[in-house]
Amino acid sequence: MVGEAKQYAPECYACPIGTVSMKIQETAPEAGEHLIRAGRELLQVAVSLIQGFDAFLGMVEERSGAGGKHGVVESIPIRRERPSSIPIRRDDGE
């Protein structure tokens, strides 16, 4: 197996995930581990940002008094008939 190039499906070369996977396999094991740890840290940062933003929105809702209105749907009646007093405008010059 030493000196043999690993064969991949043609789709792997077009896919960003496949490309990253191939590049990680070509690097030293320590570099791959480092990249995986860095990716994990980035995901944790993203989760923290989302949680912080969610907490911020909750605080804003509490302060604005809109906190108790979750899940409330207001029914708005719709009149389906057009009143005869409204003229119908046509774009064809009539």
Q: What are the boundaries of each domain within the chain?
A: 30-66
The set of residues, in sequence order, having a beta carbon less than 8 Å from that of 36 and lying 6+ positions away, is 24
Residue 28 has a pLDDT of 80
Does the pTM surpass 0.75? The reply is no
pLDDT band at 3 (very low <50, low <70, confident <90, very high): very low
Q: Percentage of the chain surpassing pLDDT 70?
A: 72
The stretches of 1-94 forming alpha helices (DSSP H) are: 10-14, 16-26, 29-64
Over the range 13-28, which residues count as b (16 or more CB within 10 Å of their CB) and which as e? Answer: eeeeeeeeeeeeeeee
Give, in degrees to the nearest 5, the angle at Cα 53 between 42 and 62.
160
